[in-house]
């Protein structure tokens, strides 16, 4: 089994990861570093201001911070880089600016970052690092300074250097800055493709299936190639496992942390219920009309148990029942009745065809829908393949739900949203079968007992009247105020209504009625703190709700793995950082480390227009090069679009340059050589 699984994996995953790399490469092929150190697309649009933030070539960065080594080999390096032979080297401007900058920062160093003045921008963004010696990244500058400060004994003063030889601080610093200048990325470098290959190649080493966390408590996240596809290729607005990570403030103790955790978890009504019994009676009322009455008795768990577990009191519970549960129950009963009436009406037409929606639904289910590459559109054309093996996909479930919804709406003429799920149910803790006569009898008694006039106090009576007033079908209602152990009510329907499977309706409504929830948030977990940092992990994303709880959590440190949600709330820069973090996470699980420059470029490219664009057919749509779009996937549709818009193809992207036989603008093609012809 394990051997076979490995073989299947190898056979299947190469296609997936190969497609991922192709999607990345096609869009990033024109991205290159231009002569002003910015990273631009083929047509000149800006992607990054500095490659990787500091314009350093990836291949040259590994030795950049090894100052001791450079100190030991000072003379060799001096010979190698021979600064005297470089023309037009400006060695003063940037250095003096840097000095001013440092003085300014010393003054303002302790102020929080939003109140610091912006008079002095970082050196590297003001002065071109390729031209001005000393224009280096802040991190390099700080590291260099700290090395020099920590090793003052290695350096001599300038007077001594003249007499005895040795290295002064100034010389060393200049050499290091020269080394930085030599490690800059060369203009014209095709950075986009390098980034896409750097991400695509490790993805072939990740196994195809996600592996789940074993054990309880920990949240379930999508991992591996499916997650990478979610982030990069589909850029889906709703991901499968959205999560928020909330850091806990230090002064919060364990108990309050646990209590907070429980308080934001979503609790449905069904979790309180131990059992539900329904007793159905048919009779005739005094006025001669038949009626059908259902006495529902709900038995809860012990009040102490559920208030400890969920921190919900019985008053809250009773409020939930009266306000939400009964109304929801009524609504679904009414819908059921209408559905029955409708199906009764349609029985008369023999030979009426099945509504179109359902046949289409059937045919949709029978074609195997995979994810979103264009081959499926093609495949759907050849229908001679066998019936799909898989159950319906996520997209298919959506379509099925929508189709059902529309059918229901057709039948109901109702604008209420459908609550009927097509999914099978999980275990409930209600014993719903009314099989044994004895039990029936005893429960009949219990229900009627609870609803008898004797059992109700005046408050209860008042509550019952309120409930009866606000709902049409309820005739009696009572709740156990003392122990919070049961609740009973009676519903009356007219006698002509068909038999309803009341217990199923009650079960469904119980599962949906929510006692307490923060919108969009499911469970909240309190995992083991790693490296001393305590965090909460919630399933589901809701930022505004979390901002309310700044007593427990550090609101400024909230992290999320759903890029679209972060984009909506915190803006595009935060979304960009989330993308980088998430991709890093994906690779980190397999102990693969991809340099952050490539991920930065990827994230910057995806957020280049201020939103979250994916590397798929829709994301490529905003590109200016039509040939690139046409050579990517759906040739004819892009072609027709280009023709209808009278598009103008500037032949700047590498794909277009190849089509027409021009030199592409990356690499060697980013410059021209002009020879100085002597006059005759």
Contact 143, 129 (CB under 8 A): no
The CB-of-636 to other proteins minimum distance in angstroms stands at: 10
For residue 432, give the nearest of 281, 291, 276 by alpha carbon: 276
Smaller CB separation from other proteins, 390 or 410 = 390
Contact 134, 126 (CB under 8 A): no
The CB-of-666 to other proteins minimum distance in angstroms stands at: 6
Number of residues that this document lists for the chain: 680
Smaller CB separation from other proteins, 591 or 636 = 636
Smaller CB separation from other proteins, 40 or 476 = 40
Measured CA distances, 476 to 432, 453, 496, 599 (Å)? 21, 10, 21, 64
The CB-of-494 to other proteins minimum distance in angstroms stands at: 28
Euclidean distance between CA atoms 233 and 63, whole angstroms: 34
The CB-of-601 to other proteins minimum distance in angstroms stands at: 13
Smaller CB separation from other proteins, 6 or 529 = 6
The CB-of-503 to other proteins minimum distance in angstroms stands at: 13
H or E segment at 297? Answer: strand 290-300
Question: 275 has which bridge partners?
Answer: 299
The CB-of-334 to other proteins minimum distance in angstroms stands at: 24
Smaller CB separation from other proteins, 3 or 544 = 3
The CB-of-656 to other proteins minimum distance in angstroms stands at: 10
Sheet of 524-525, strand order: 524-525, 535-539, 243-247, 559-560
Task: Indicate if the alpha-carbon torsion angle 515, 518, 519, 525 is positive or negative.
Answer: negative
For 367, counting Cβ atoms within 10 Å of its Cβ (0-12 exposed, 13-18 middle, 19+ buried), the class is middle
Q: What is 582-637 written as a DSSP string? A: HHHHHHHTTT----HHHHHHHHHHHTTTSS---SSTTGGGG-S-HHHHHTTS-HHH
Smaller CB separation from other proteins, 12 or 111 = 12
- Name residues whose C-beta falls within 8 Å of residue 544's C-beta, 6 or more positions apart in sequence: 569
Spacing of C-alpha 46 from chain mean position: 26
The CB-of-594 to other proteins minimum distance in angstroms stands at: 16
Smaller CB separation from other proteins, 4 or 106 = 4
Euclidean distance between CA atoms 402 and 397, whole angstroms: 8
Smaller CB separation from other proteins, 611 or 634 = 634
Smaller CB separation from other proteins, 214 or 660 = 660
The two tokens of residue 453 are 């006039």
Smaller CB separation from other proteins, 349 or 469 = 349
The CB-of-664 to other proteins minimum distance in angstroms stands at: 5
Smaller CB separation from other proteins, 198 or 607 = 198
Euclidean distance between CA atoms 560 and 243, whole angstroms: 6
Smaller CB separation from other proteins, 283 or 661 = 661
The two tokens of residue 208 are 């195809």
The CB-of-188 to other proteins minimum distance in angstroms stands at: 6
Contact 525, 536 (CB under 8 A): yes
The CB-of-186 to other proteins minimum distance in angstroms stands at: 8
Measured CA distances, 230 to 41, 234, 236, 563 (Å)? 24, 5, 6, 10
Euclidean distance between CA atoms 615 and 23, whole angstroms: 6
Q: What are phi and psi of 89, to 5 degrees?
A: -90, 115
Smaller CB separation from other proteins, 384 or 454 = 384
Secondary structure, 3-state, 538-575: EECCCHHHHHCCCCCECHHHCEECCHHHHHHHHCHHHH
The CB-of-386 to other proteins minimum distance in angstroms stands at: 5
The CB-of-224 to other proteins minimum distance in angstroms stands at: 14
Task: Give, rounded to a whole angstrom, the gap between the first and last alpha carbons of the chain.
Answer: 82
Smaller CB separation from other proteins, 525 or 658 = 658
The CB-of-12 to other proteins minimum distance in angstroms stands at: 5
The CB-of-343 to other proteins minimum distance in angstroms stands at: 17
Contact 35, 222 (CB under 8 A): no
User: Can you give the binding site for other proteins, defined by CB under 8 A?
Assistant: 1-8, 10-12, 15-16, 21-22, 25, 29, 188-190, 193-194, 196-197, 209, 350-351, 368, 370, 384-386, 388-390, 424, 639, 643, 654, 658-669, 672
Smaller CB separation from other proteins, 45 or 428 = 428
Beta strands in 406-513 (DSSP E): 474-479, 486-494
The two tokens of residue 362 are 């059937």
Q: Tokens 């148990």 label which residue?
A: 305
**How many helices (H) and strands (E) are present in the chain, helices listed first?**
27, 13
The two tokens of residue 526 are 């309190």
């Amino acid at each position: 089994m394990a051997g076979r699984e490995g073989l299947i994996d190898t056979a299947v995953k190469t296609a997936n990861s190969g497609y991922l790399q192709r999607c990345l490469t096609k869009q990033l092929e024109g991205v290159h570093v231009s002569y002003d150190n910015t990273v631009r697309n083929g047509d000149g649009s800006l992607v990054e201001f500095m490659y990787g933030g500091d314009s350093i070539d990836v291949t040259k960065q590994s030795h950049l911070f090894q100052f001791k080594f450079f100190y030991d080999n000072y003379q060799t390096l001096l010979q190698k880089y021979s600064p005297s032979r470089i023309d037009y080297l400006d060695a003063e401007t940037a250095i003096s600016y840097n000095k001013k900058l440092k003085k300014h920062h010393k003054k303002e160093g302790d102020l929080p970052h939003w109140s610091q003045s912006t008079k002095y921008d970082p050196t590297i963004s003001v002065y071109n690092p390729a031209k001005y010696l000393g224009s280096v990244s802040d991190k390099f500058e700080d590291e260099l300074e700290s090395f020099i400060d920590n090793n003052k004994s290695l350096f001599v003063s300038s007077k001594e250097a003249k007499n005895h030889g040795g290295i002064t601080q100034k010389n060393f610093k200049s050499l290091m800055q020269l080394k930085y200048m030599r490690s800059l990325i060369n203009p014209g470098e095709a950075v986009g493709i390098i980034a896409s290959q750097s991400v695509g190649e490790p993805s072939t080493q990740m196994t195809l299936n996600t592996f789940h966390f074993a054990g309880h408590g920990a949240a379930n996240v999508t991992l591996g190639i499916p997650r990478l596809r979610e982030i990069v290729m589909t850029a889906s607005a709703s991901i499968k496992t959205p999560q928020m990570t909330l850091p806990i403030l230090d002064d919060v103790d364990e108990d309050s942390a646990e209590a907070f955790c429980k308080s934001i978890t979503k609790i449905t009504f069904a979790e309180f219920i131990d059992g539900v019994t329904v007793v159905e009676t048919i009779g005739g009322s005094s006025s001669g009309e038949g009626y059908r009455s259902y006495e529902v008795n709900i038995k809860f768990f012990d009040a102490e148990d559920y208030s400890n577990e969920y921190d919900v009191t019985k008053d809250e519970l009773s409020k939930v029942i009266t306000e939400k549960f009964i109304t929801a129950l009524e609504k679904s009963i009414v819908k059921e009745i209408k559905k029955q009436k409708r199906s009764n009406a349609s029985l008369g037409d023999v030979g009426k065809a099945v509504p179109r929606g359902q046949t289409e639904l059937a045919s949709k289910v029978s074609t195997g829908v995979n994810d979103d590459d264009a081959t499926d559109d093609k495949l759907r054309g050849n229908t001679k393949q066998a019936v799909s093996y898989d159950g319906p996909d996520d997209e298919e479930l959506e379509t099925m739900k929508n189709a059902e919804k529309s059918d229901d709406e057709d039948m109901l003429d109702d604008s209420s949203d459908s609550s009927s799920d097509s999914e099978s149910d999980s275990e409930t803790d209600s014993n719903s079968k009314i099989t044994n006569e004895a039990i029936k009898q005893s429960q009949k008694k219990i229900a009627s007992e609870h609803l008898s006039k004797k059992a109700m106090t005046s408050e209860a009576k008042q509550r019952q009247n309120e409930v009866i007033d606000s709902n049409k079908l309820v005739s009696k209602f009572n709740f156990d105020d003392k122990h919070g152990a049961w609740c009973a009510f009676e519903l009356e329907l007219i006698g002509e209504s068909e038999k309803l499977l009341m217990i199923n309706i009650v079960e469904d409504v119980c599962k949906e009625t929510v006692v307490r929830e923060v919108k969009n948030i499911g469970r909240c977990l309190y995992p083991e703190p790693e490296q001393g940092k305590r965090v909460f992990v919630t399933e589901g994303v809701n930022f505004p709700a979390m901002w309310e709880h700044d007593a427990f959590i550090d609101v400024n440190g909230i992290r999320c793995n759903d890029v679209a949600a972060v984009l909506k709330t915190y803006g595009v820069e935060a979304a960009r950082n989330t993308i980088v973090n998430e991709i890093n996470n994906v690779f980190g699980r397999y102990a693969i480390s991809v340099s952050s420059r490539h991920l930065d470029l990827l994230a910057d490219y995806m957020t280049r227009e201020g939103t979250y664009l994916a590397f798929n057919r829709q994301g490529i749509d905003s590109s200016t090069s039509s040939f690139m779009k046409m050579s990517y996937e759906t040739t004819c549709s892009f072609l027709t679009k280009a023709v209808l818009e009278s598009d103008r193809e500037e032949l700047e992207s590498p794909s277009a340059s190849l089509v027409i036989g021009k030199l592409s603008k990356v690499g060697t093609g980013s410059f021209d050589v002009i020879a100085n012809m002597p006059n005759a």
